[in-house]
Amino acid sequence: EEDSLSPFIRLQEKKKQAQLMQKALEVKEEAFRERMKVITCRWRDLHAKEAQLKTYMEKSGRTLKENDKMRIQALKKASKERERKIQKESDLLRAKRELEALRNKHQKLCSKVQKYSIFNKYLEDVVKISQFEEIQEVIWRYKTLVRIHKDLLQSHQGHKEMSEQAKVLLDQYTVEKEAEILQYQNELVQLQLRFDQAQNDVLPWETHWADIQNTTAKKTLKLGTIKMAILNLFQ
């Protein structure tokens, strides 16, 4: 569907371009006709002025200085008119070239429109068998689907990047926690060794404490016997 609709979209765009080019071509032709009118009028004016200048030169009976002055002015004026004529001819030639280029471009656009007309027929058939009422609705729907697809791709890419970042963070966290666990295991081994050593040290002291308790019991019993003997003697 995307492969078939894309050429038709280009067809619609080419049609719009062809219409714009047709309008531009008409504007150029109108401007060209106006330029030709202006150039024709100026040619007539130029010929009239040249005739006036010739008549004036023939009828001029003034002094040499005035004649030279008038001749110089006439030459300058003629030079300017020739420059204008050359400029107008250059503008005319450029306008002809632009007009020819526009015609060629218009011909190419017409060929493309003719080439892509099959897609217009295809979309007309699609409208007939679908819930759409116009071809433009199909195009809008297609553009909406393309935009949604693009958004989904961007969202998927964003989730993929976030997942990769989370994986990197998880790997870092795992490495850190494994290092901490190894450190705690080493500390636990040290504590176990100290605990074993403490138990080994406690055993003699427990034996000694038992001896002290036994000695204390004997002395307590002996002291009680003495107290009873003293009490009996006192009584």
Look at the chain and count its residues: 235
Q: Of residues 196 and 61, which shows the higher confidence score?
A: 196
What pLDDT, on a 0 to 100 scale, did the predictor assign at position 235?
80
Cα–Cα distance measured from residue 63 to residue 61, given in angstroms and rounded to the nearest whole number: 7
Is residue 213 in some structural domain?
yes
Cα–Cα distance measured from residue 81 to residue 154, given in angstroms and rounded to the nearest whole number: 66
Is residue 179 in some structural domain?
yes
Domain count, the chain: 1
Is residue 168 in some structural domain?
yes
On the question of pLDDT at 51 being above 50, the answer is yes
The residue with tokens 């002094």 is 63
The span from the first CA to the last CA of the chain, in angstroms, equals: 127
Q: Are 39 and 88 a contacting pair, CB within 8 Å?
A: yes
Residue-range definition of the domain harbouring residue 172: 133-228
Is residue 202 in some structural domain?
yes
Q: Are 36 and 89 a contacting pair, CB within 8 Å?
A: no
Nearest-Å Rg of the Cα atoms of the chain is 56
What pLDDT, on a 0 to 100 scale, did the predictor assign at position 4?
53
Percent residues over pLDDT 70 in the chain: 91
Number of other residues whose CB lies within 10 A of the CB of residue 8? 22
Percent residues over pLDDT 90 in the chain: 0
- Residues 167-193 have pLDDT tens digits of 888 888 889 988 888 998 898 988 888
What pLDDT, on a 0 to 100 scale, did the predictor assign at position 227?
87
Is residue 205 in some structural domain?
yes
Is residue 80 in some structural domain?
no
- Residues 146-164 have pLDDT tens digits of 889 888 988 888 888 888 8
On the question of pLDDT at 61 being above 70, the answer is no
Cα–Cα distance measured from residue 1 to residue 146, given in angstroms and rounded to the nearest whole number: 11
Is residue 76 in some structural domain?
no
pTM greater than 0.75 (yes/no): no
On the question of pLDDT at 52 being above 70, the answer is yes
CA distances from 180 to 4, 160, 173, 193, 195 (A): 61, 30, 10, 20, 22
What pLDDT, on a 0 to 100 scale, did the predictor assign at position 5?
55
Is residue 224 in some structural domain?
yes
What pLDDT, on a 0 to 100 scale, did the predictor assign at position 207?
81
What pLDDT, on a 0 to 100 scale, did the predictor assign at position 1?
46
